[in-house]
Structure 1
Amino acid sequence: MMLFRALLVVILVALSVYSAVVVANHGLNLLPVFFGDMAEMAWPGQFNFDFMGFLVLSAVWTAWRHQFSPLGLALAVVAFFGGMMFLTIYLLVVSYQVKGDIKALLLGQARALA
């Protein structure tokens, strides 16, 4: 679990630094660029469309893990728009909440106990 948590921290720090540089150079104008690349039907758009699939899976898993409760649905929205920045923090926090129990981490407390 410590290696997993270390990986999450490395990803979070690297992504934060990279994002800060991109925002400093290009501003927060992500959505027109993201969807514009997809509209062009070229490789950058294909990558964005593929990535959006991961965002959907992350959001659905987050909602499912919380049994589609209001909190789970709210977190799903954050997961979709927050991407890996959300997921690294979420998994770090939850990994400590479940005391490293991978079953509870993946399934949620209620399903892990069933």
Structure 2
Amino acid sequence: MTAKLFLGSIIIVVGIYTTPVVADYGLLTLLPSFFGEMSKMNWQGQFNLDFFMFLLMSGLWIAWRNKFSPAGLGLGIGGIFLGAPYLSAYLLYLGQHHGWDLNKVFSQDI
């Protein structure tokens, strides 16, 4: 129950925060702003780089878990671009599908 609450909270909190940001700034400013800070070699850029590495690990893990199949690669790209809410939804799905057996949730044997 705790994992479900935590993962569900991530989806809700990030969704609530993201909605007005997208309404005010749109989606087209995201990538130039995100990568632009990295090119400035400042703390915000360092944070963005660190965060981007987590997004890459998330996407690669999702693709690996799905044996780098075409569907797995598509799911992995979703993990990179859609972040924590996407990974949370994916983990909620896997948890439910595997009866919250974490060995099955985190294994490549699907």
> Normalising by structure 1, what TM-score?
0.91
- 1:38-59: per-residue Cα shift (whole Å, max 9, x none)? 1111011100000010011101
In structure 2, what is the equivalent of residue 81 of structure 1? 81
Quote the Cα distance in structure 2 between the aligned partners of 1:73 and 1:23: 26
Compare relative contact order (CA 8 Å, sep 6+) and give the higher one, 1 or 2: 2
Quote the Cα distance in structure 2 between the aligned partners of 1:65 and 1:5: 20
CA RMSD, Structure 1 to Structure 2 (Å): 1.0
In structure 1, stretches of 5+ residues that fail to align are: none
In structure 1, what is the equivalent of residue 92 of structure 2? 92
* Worse overlay, 88-97 or 20-29: 20-29
Quote the Cα distance in structure 2 between the aligned partners of 1:97 and 1:20: 29
* Matched residue type, 1:73: L
User: Post-superposition shift, 1:6?
Assistant: 0.5
* Matched residue type, 1:74: G
In structure 2, what is the equivalent of residue 64 of structure 1? 64
Greater share of helix: 1
Identity of aligned residues (%): 40
- 1:58-79: per-residue Cα shift (whole Å, max 9, x none)? 0111111111111111111111
Quote the Cα distance in structure 1 between the aligned partners of 2:97 and 2:80: 22
Quote the Cα distance in structure 2 between the aligned partners of 1:27 and 1:76: 24
Equivalences, count: 109
Q: Secondary structure at 1:107's aligned position in 2?
A: coil
* Matched residue type, 2:18: S
In structure 2, what is the equivalent of residue 16 of structure 1? 15
In structure 1, what is the equivalent of residue 104 of structure 2? 104
In structure 1, what is the equivalent of residue 37 of structure 2? 37
* Matched residue type, 1:85: P
Quote the Cα distance in structure 1 between the aligned partners of 2:9 and 2:74: 26
Poorly superposed stretches of 4+, deviation over 3 Å: none
* Matched residue type, 1:49: L
